[in-house]
Amino acid sequence: MNVGDIINFLNEIAPWRYAEEWDSVGLMVGSRESYVTKILLCMDVTSDVISEAAQCGAQMILSHHPFIFSKLKSIDMETFKGEQIANLIKNNISVVSAHTNLDTAPGGVNDTLAESLHLTNSRNLKPYMPKGLECDLGMGKVGELQNSKSFDEFVIDVKKSLCIENLRIIGVKPKKVKKVAVFCGSFDDDLESLKSLKVDVLVTGDIKYHIALDAAQMGLCIVDAGHFATERIILPKLRDTLNKRFKELDIICSKMETDPFTFA
Amino acid sequence: MNVGDIINFLNEIAPWRYAEEWDSVGLMVGSRESYVTKILLCMDVTSDVISEAAQCGAQMILSHHPFIFSKLKSIDMETFKGEQIANLIKNNISVVSAHTNLDTAPGGVNDTLAESLHLTNSRNLKPYMPKGLECDLGMGKVGELQNSKSFDEFVIDVKKSLCIENLRIIGVKPKKVKKVAVFCGSFDDDLESLKSLKVDVLVTGDIKYHIALDAAQMGLCIVDAGHFATERIILPKLRDTLNKRFKELDIICSKMETDPFTFA
Amino acid sequence: MNVGDIINFLNEIAPWRYAEEWDSVGLMVGSRESYVTKILLCMDVTSDVISEAAQCGAQMILSHHPFIFSKLKSIDMETFKGEQIANLIKNNISVVSAHTNLDTAPGGVNDTLAESLHLTNSRNLKPYMPKGLECDLGMGKVGELQNSKSFDEFVIDVKKSLCIENLRIIGVKPKKVKKVAVFCGSFDDDLESLKSLKVDVLVTGDIKYHIALDAAQMGLCIVDAGHFATERIILPKLRDTLNKRFKELDIICSKMETDPFTFA
Amino acid sequence: MNVGDIINFLNEIAPWRYAEEWDSVGLMVGSRESYVTKILLCMDVTSDVISEAAQCGAQMILSHHPFIFSKLKSIDMETFKGEQIANLIKNNISVVSAHTNLDTAPGGVNDTLAESLHLTNSRNLKPYMPKGLECDLGMGKVGELQNSKSFDEFVIDVKKSLCIENLRIIGVKPKKVKKVAVFCGSFDDDLESLKSLKVDVLVTGDIKYHIALDAAQMGLCIVDAGHFATERIILPKLRDTLNKRFKELDIICSKMETDPFTFA
Amino acid sequence: MNVGDIINFLNEIAPWRYAEEWDSVGLMVGSRESYVTKILLCMDVTSDVISEAAQCGAQMILSHHPFIFSKLKSIDMETFKGEQIANLIKNNISVVSAHTNLDTAPGGVNDTLAESLHLTNSRNLKPYMPKGLECDLGMGKVGELQNSKSFDEFVIDVKKSLCIENLRIIGVKPKKVKKVAVFCGSFDDDLESLKSLKVDVLVTGDIKYHIALDAAQMGLCIVDAGHFATERIILPKLRDTLNKRFKELDIICSKMETDPFTFA
Amino acid sequence: MNVGDIINFLNEIAPWRYAEEWDSVGLMVGSRESYVTKILLCMDVTSDVISEAAQCGAQMILSHHPFIFSKLKSIDMETFKGEQIANLIKNNISVVSAHTNLDTAPGGVNDTLAESLHLTNSRNLKPYMPKGLECDLGMGKVGELQNSKSFDEFVIDVKKSLCIENLRIIGVKPKKVKKVAVFCGSFDDDLESLKSLKVDVLVTGDIKYHIALDAAQMGLCIVDAGHFATERIILPKLRDTLNKRFKELDIICSKMETDPFTFA
């Protein structure tokens, strides 16, 4: 098994060409020819995660967020990115990132977020058509809870499903929650599309102030459960999918990474 | 007294030409010729704020955030912005907004935020030079606490000073807090400049996930006290300044507006 | 009947998506929900036209030229546009504009101009294909007079047909006029296309000096009958079309508006 | 005397670097080394003007409007421009054009237009600062009539001064005319600047419909005396200036060119 | 026979619409109506070539490289281009250029280069699809020698086939040459595509230093036989093709032009 | 001594801010904190040069051409650039590049090229003003030979001075060579500036066909001595300058690199 085999399999479940034009996906550091027995899955390739990979003997890190997003004009080891690259190379660790292709793929991050919240009849919040492709992808999902519940109950469920203790609420709380939209990571700010769907609540992360204010003015309700929590639910699922295909591989989710935000 | 007189006085304390090129400031709706006896101050011109102004008989609203930011291609009363404009016009209420010119002016929002946190020796976090102007303005401030304190004590003080119950913390908490940076509203994401200042903590709002992550990787500590709380402290000060100059005017801060985010 | 019903009917006879990309059409001010019993038709929403609508009790103005063309960054009542908006809102008058979609639609302004000049066998001067649409629209028309006539006779007929007393002539007058091109409002300056059609004369408006000079050099003849006169002929026709569909509505053409140019 | 000497002298009275960035001025066709005894002055280098030059033995044409404005990708003699170039080259005639440098220079077209209308105390309508230059140029002029007169009298004077029989009037006619703005050729559409000057009337040319309408809405009055007539007044003056400097040269104004617009 | 007939025939063998968007092809100077009995073929329309055409009585020059590539803002006879245009016009010589349309057309420059080197089974190096066209064109060619030969033998053959005495070699010389790529004129720098073809050598011209260095790093071998030599082989072929179609025409290849580079 | 000390010294002799805006200079890979005892100088950081550095124990490579010019979106070890980066990092070798700052600095590449050809009275071919700087830099140099010589003698001298066996000549050979321009690396194609200097010959490298042709048409003579040869003369000089300042350092010029072009 080598890095290239994993990259090819990822192309089957979340084709690289599904990624947005501005995105950066695929092999970030290393070689398709590197032999792999152990893979570490993570949201972000932090210095802690690299140490974890080195210590546990993983030859490959598979991250959701791109390790190299802004192109590099130098590899300066006095910067954290340069130091991380040097550590990866010296430890012979390859890095692969699967980002918006994984967000939008069937069974990807948005689908998994909808499942985590027990939505039924999940369909695309809005269609997403990568340039030059004919495919039925979507950004965000919309679905229904089996039984409607009170907003307070819903908030408790979200916390439990996403393993978080705190979240932020925007707008007017609905009396009952039945129809729910989800948008993993960071909502794309298209409040008009959201409004036309007449959902009771949107669960997403990373909402900025001015969007929050407009949403409230438009009578919408948003639960900001955090960028980290609304996406990290993909990791166990990805681990299982990879394990099913590559039975001989040892695949683990990072134990070192946490949400960079804590509440006080 | 008319709206034009207030606009002219604001130009003395926070010149309109100090505003950033992308910003929208000054008269938003109404007429410089309108006679004014009562002004309502607010962060944002929401529907609630407009009702409040109409009910209390204010002929003018002075907001921090621009009432019209994206230019209008129509005034459609089925949208909240169109309905608000109609309500303002039918109630003969003028709207003036003072935004980045007020953020950066001496005695403006950043200065007031530094004062609220009892910083001494406050100076510019980074210089700000509006196009074609020679002036000594700055975005953000840096200063020192009179006595260093523990991070937990500092967090309690921030909450008290900004009248908030919750905030978010990013990165590694310092042992002691002495040197503090502030950046009202939303930090401009320039982590390199911040790092070079070697502050113990930055107090700001509206931090996005990827910036939070980079800040943590760079060993920085940020307190995200919210866009609303880090800016609303300007309103009482602005009320007093206007009252000193226009003694006959009745000037009040909105009692209807609140932070669109609540924590749960 | 409400404003939205009229907008929907206009979409049937001159679909909004036919408008050019740079154009601004549809609801300009007001609400689709407003109840309508009387509509005032006009070329341009001037202050006189607004007074006329208010006095005659029209709840809606339907103009050919867009009331809001340059997007608005403020509604300043010391400007004529701001004052007009305020007057419209205070009088509960909605404004809808149908511009390039009406120019190019079958039975629209260009077709009506060709009819007014008694052209037969009228076809598109050049094809017009709104982005992403498959349709057989055209800018300008070309047709033939039933019988050829002298240029002087033709000029007299144009004046009579368009109810004008003066016009401007460019280039070499042809001996006989048989094949005629028309281009309502303002010719698009594509002299090459015009030349290839070998028409005897083009009737249009708003010709600039340098285009006039080039046309003369190329041996073309143009009658500039004015922007106003070559378009206003649509109003009576539009009134009749609307009346046929909405029998209960009172629809009138403005009596207050005139061509802004007078000759001396 | 050769073409280069004339070009150098024009640089003294209307420096080439004063031309707008989008403009095209200077030598258009021919050679600085060509010997010159006779020069033909004109507004535009038409085919008639070229014949006139060839017949009268002029080795050089000096035009106001640029002979080559759009850059050439070929010299195709089936087009009028290609045929004109061939005729110029075969007749050894050089062409030089002095456009916006001559409009704005002291004693240039705008100044001459102001003089023609007997304005006193003529100053810049608005300042014009060619990129990278420090100089006191202006687009348009503003001045006063010695004695105020009725609008009808003023119109008669304009016709007489500019040798025209027809003109177009826009907006509300003032009762008395005293303060007058002029803008040679084609007004630059900056109605705001014009309004702030509080002139009784603007004399210019080439006004488009939408500008006419806005001007009327703003309460302004414009006399559109034509692009040709408001600029051609420079030719006799230019002839005299050149003759004073180059006494041995034969300099004539074209007798073949006329305004491409005629009124009917 | 006139220039237009030749232009039309060229459109059959190398359609003008095949040219790249940045290119300039077709009639450069003169008239489609000019009568032609003699045509001079050349790579570039130099002053020597124009004299040659004038002396031998050719009414038309057909060049490979565009005579007018940068659009002209003037025809200044003190520049070599202006002087050449004047000479062409005074001698009634038309110029037509067939560039990238001829490079990529079947039987065009690339095909002829492949034939000159005796390549068999010649196919496109990479597909080329002019905007909006469906056609099977290619930039460059790839083929095989009938029998593999040593690199030194191959170099001797290239010199002989292209009639050159010197060339430049880049990268590691292969032991045997069998599979060969050709790219007439100047290689387009797409080393990745070239590498994926696994050819033994590329024959092209006009290689810059940094491309040479990258090619060497990538283990490729390039023979730079010069822009002139890799394209001039089209002239005799074009002469024969034109002669077959226009039997009455006298068609000659320039005897005055040579490669601007000489080796020392 | 560490890498940062060398970078600082280079900033004294060829300030980094002198580099062109499009250029990439300074630290490319590694750390300013790395300790250095041995430096390898080269034109280009090729795989051979990296091996040479590793074998001879150099901790730093100082190259003229930027090691990272196009920004990196990944470090893929199946590409030569990715493999080189990995080799550098694994061998703890830092790379620093001094490019256009060194070309234009006093005593830099252009000055050294002029000296190598024994030019006297060397001055700037054209002024070069890095954005926002006031300094007297130049691209290229112009000077005189002490005694004029025949062109053939001059060519022999150039070969000897630059240690090359072959070069290419463009245009008409002058009878005598006295005034000479030099432009290291690759001439910037500004033939107009060159012509105005009236030099007998320009010595440069990397001339493309169309520039060669234009130069010949303009009567200029160019000796293309190659990009490599016209720049590599800086290495021994740079070695001596560094050795004078850092006496304890071992500094060597690469013995492995050669011009990627060979002549046959």
Closest Cα in chain D, distance from residue C179 (Å): 21
pLDDT at residue E119, rounded to an integer: 98
Pair (E129, E211) in one structural domain = yes
Question: From E151, which residue of chain F is nearest by alpha-carbon distance?
Answer: F264
pLDDT at E138: 83
**Per-residue pLDDT at D132 exceeds 80:** no
pLDDT-derived band at A167, boundaries 50, 70, 90 = very high
Q: Is F228 on the interface with E (CB under 8 A)?
A: yes
- Match 């016209």 to its residue by tokens: F230
Beta-carbon separation of D68 and E72 below 8 A: yes
Chain E environment of F260 (Cβ under 8 Å) = 170-171, 209, 212-213, 215-216
- Residue C177's SS3 state is strand
Give the pLDDT band (50/70/90) at residue B22: very high
Q: Could you tell me whether strands E26-30 and D75-76 are parallel, antiparallel, or unpaired per DSSP bridges?
A: parallel
Is the pair F, A in contact (3+ CB pairs within 8 Å)?
yes
In this predicted structure, what is the pLDDT of residue A138? 83
Q: What is the pLDDT of residues A65-116, one digit of tens each?
A: 999 999 999 999 999 999 999 999 999 999 999 999 999 999 999 999 999 9
Q: Would you place residue D135 in the very low, low, confident or very high pLDDT band (cuts 50, 70, 90)? A: confident
In this structure, the answer to whether residues D80 and D114 fall within a common structural domain is no
Query: Using one digit for the tens of pLDDT, what is the confidence trace for A174-228?
Result: 999 999 999 999 999 999 999 999 999 999 999 999 999 999 999 999 999 999 9
Residues F166 and F200 in one domain: yes
E23 touches chain F (CB under 8 A): no
Indicate the residue of B186, B217, B260 with minimum beta-carbon distance to A46: B217
pLDDT given at position C127: 87
Is D156 an interface residue toward E (CB < 8 Å)?
no
Could you tell me the pLDDT band of residue C247, with boundaries at 50, 70 and 90? very high
Residue of D nearest to C218 (CA): D80
Q: Could you say which of C166, C170, C205 has the minimum Cβ distance to residue D260? A: C170
* Whether the Cβ atoms of residue C203 and residue C223 lie closer than 8 Å to each other: yes
In this structure, the number of other CB atoms found within 10 A of the CB of residue D221 comes to 18
At F230 the pLDDT is: 98
Q: Are residues B135 and B225 in the same domain?
A: yes
- The partner residue sitting opposite C218, judged by closest CB among D80, D168, D216, is D80
In this predicted model, what pLDDT tens digit does every residue of F210-255 receive, in sequence order? Answer: 999 999 999 999 999 999 999 999 999 999 999 999 999 999 999 9
A66 and A182 both lie in a single domain: no
**Whole-number pLDDT of residue B131:** 75
Alpha carbon of F40: minimum distance to chain A alpha carbons (Å): 19
The answer, for B212 touching chain A at a CB cutoff of 8 Å, is yes
Q: H/E element holding D113? A: helix D109-116
Residue E174's domain spans which residues? Answer: 106-230
Q: What is the pLDDT of residues E148-166, one digit of tens each?
A: 999 999 999 999 999 999 9
The verdict on a CB contact (< 8 Å) between D30 and E85 is: no
One domain, residues B51 and B121: no
Taking residues F150-174, what's their average pLDDT? 97
Q: Does B74 share its domain with B123?
A: no
Q: Which residue of E has its CA nearest to D78?
A: E31
pLDDT-derived band at B130 (thresholds 50, 70, 90) equals confident
Q: Is the pLDDT score of A246 beyond 80?
A: yes
Q: Model confidence at F130, in pLDDT bands (50, 70, 90)? A: confident
Strands D250-253, C60-63: parallel, antiparallel or unpaired by DSSP?
unpaired
Contact F32 A73 (CB under 8 A): no
Q: How many beta-carbon pairs under 8 angstroms link B with C? A: 67
pLDDT exceeds 90 at position B255: yes
Residue C136: is its pLDDT beyond 90?
A: no
C117 belongs to a structural domain: yes
Between these two residues, D199 and C135, which has the higher pLDDT value? D199
Of residues B166, B212, B226, nearest to A260 (C-beta): B212
Q: Name chain E contacts of D82, Cβ cutoff 8 Å.
A: 31
- Cβ contacts below 8 Å, chain C against chain D, sum to 91
Smallest CA-to-CA distance from A231 within A97, A33, A14, A43 is with A43
User: Is pLDDT of E132 > 80?
Assistant: no
Binding residues of F for a divalent metal cation, by number, are 64-65, 103, 227, 231
Say if A161 falls within a structural domain.
yes
**If you count residue pairs, one on D and one on E, with CB atoms under 8 Å apart, how many are there?**
67
Note whether C86 contacts B85, CB cutoff 8 Å. no
Kindly state whether residues F70 and F89 are assigned to the same domain. yes
Q: Does the residue C38 lie in any domain?
A: yes
- CB–CB contact D215 C262 (8 Å): no
CB F30 within 8 A of CB F6: no
Dihedral sign, Cα of residue C7, residue C12, residue C13, residue C16:
positive
To test the contact with chain F by mutation, choose from A16, A35, A45, A89 the residue with the greatest count of F C-beta atoms within 10 A, namely: A89
- The domain total for chain C is 2
Q: Determine whether the interchain pair D261/C212 forms a contact, defined as Cβ–Cβ distance below 8 Å.
A: yes
Q: Assess if residue B134 is contained within a domain.
A: yes
Alpha carbon of A61: minimum distance to chain F alpha carbons (Å): 14
Q: Which residue of F has its CA nearest to A77?
A: F31
Q: Are D85 and D75 in contact (CB under 8 A)?
A: yes
In eight-state DSSP terms, residue E35 is B
Q: Which residues of C touch B32 (CB under 8 A)?
A: 76, 78
Residue B218 contacts residue A80 (beta carbons within 8 Å): yes
Q: What is the pLDDT of residue A128?
A: 87
Residue B28 distance to chain A (closest CA, Å):
18
| Identity of the residue in C168, C205, C260 whose CB atom sits nearest the CB atom of D261 | C168
Note whether D159 and D47 are same-domain residues. no
Both F15 and F84 in a single domain? yes
The verdict on residue B203 lying in a domain is yes
Dist CA C137 CA E133 (whole Å): 24
Q: Which of C66, A209, A95 lies closest to B186, judged by CA?
A: A209
pLDDT band at C184 (very low <50, low <70, confident <90, very high): very high
Q: Is there a contact between B263 and A260 if contact means CB atoms under 8 Å apart?
A: no
Question: Is it the case that chain C and chain D have 3 or more CB pairs lying under 8 Å apart?
Answer: yes
Q: What is the pTM of this model?
A: 0.93
Whether E19 contacts E130, CB under 8 Å:
yes
Rounded to a whole number, what is the distance in Å from the CA of C186 to chain D's nearest CA? 9
| Chain C interface includes B23 (CB < 8 A) | no
The answer on D82 and D16 residing in a single domain is: yes
**Nearest CB to D213; choose among C217, C224, C260:** C260
The stretch B33-39 carries a mean pLDDT of 98
Task: Look at E260 and F218 and tell me if their CB atoms are within 8 Å.
Answer: no
Residue with tokens 């079958």: C106
Q: Looking at beta carbons, which residues of chain A come within 8 Å of B222? A: none
Task: Check whether residue A56 and residue A132 sit in a common domain.
Answer: no
Are C209 and D185 a contacting pair at CB < 8 A?
yes
Is residue B236 domain-resident? no
pLDDT of residue E80: 97
What is the model's pLDDT at position E113? 98
Distance in Å, alpha carbon of A80 to nearest chain B alpha carbon:
7
- Min Cα distance E100 → chain F (Å) is 15
Give C198-230 pLDDT, tens digit per residue: 999 999 999 999 999 999 999 999 999 999 999
Answer with the one of C41, C70, C98 that is the final residue of a domain. Answer: C98
Residue F19 has pLDDT above 90, yes or no: yes
pLDDT of residue B181: 98
Of F33, F71, F86, the CB nearest to A73: F71
Residues of A in contact with F72 (CB under 8 A): 68, 71-73
Which residue of chain F has the CA closest to E226? F209
Q: Residue A133: is its pLDDT beyond 80?
A: no
Return all residues near C221 (Cβ < 8 A) that are at least 6 apart: C151, C169, C170, C171, C172, C173, C174, C200, C201, C202, C215
Euclidean distance between CA atoms F53 and F61, whole angstroms? 7
Partner-chain contact C75 B30, CB within 8 Å? yes
B208/chain A closest Cα distance in angstroms: 6
Annotate chain A with three-state secondary structure.
CEHHHHHHHHHHHCCHHHCCCCCCCEEEEECCCCECCEEEEECCCCHHHHHHHHHHCCCEEEECCCCCCCCECCEECCCHHHHHHHHHHHCCCEEEECCHHHHHCCCCHHHHHHHHCCCEEEEEEEEECCCCCCCCEEEEEEEEEEEEEEHHHHHHHHHHHHCCCCCEEEECCCCEEEEEEECCCCCCCCHHHHHHCCCCEEEECCCCHHHHHHHHHCCCEEEECCHHHHHHCHHHHHHHHHHHHCCCCEEEECCCCCCCEEEC
Question: Model confidence over B232-250: pLDDT tens digits?
Answer: 999 999 999 999 999 999 9
Q: Is A87 on the interface with F (CB under 8 A)?
A: no
D86 with E89: Cβ contact below 8 A: yes
CA dist., res. E96 & res. E65, Å (int) = 10
Decide if E73 and D24 are in contact by the 8 Å CB cutoff. Answer: yes
Q: Which of D47, D168, D262 comes nearest C262 by C-beta?
A: D168
User: What CATH number did the domain enclosing C71 receive?
Assistant: 3.40.1390.30
D46, D167, D208 ranked by CB distance to C217: nearest: D46
**Residue F211 domain-assigned (yes or no):** yes
Tens-digit pLDDT profile for residues A42-58: 999 999 999 999 999 99
Q: Quick check: is C246 in a domain?
A: no
Contact E226 F209 (CB under 8 A): yes
Residue B60 banded pLDDT, cuts 50, 70, 90: very high
pLDDT band at E68 (very low <50, low <70, confident <90, very high): very high
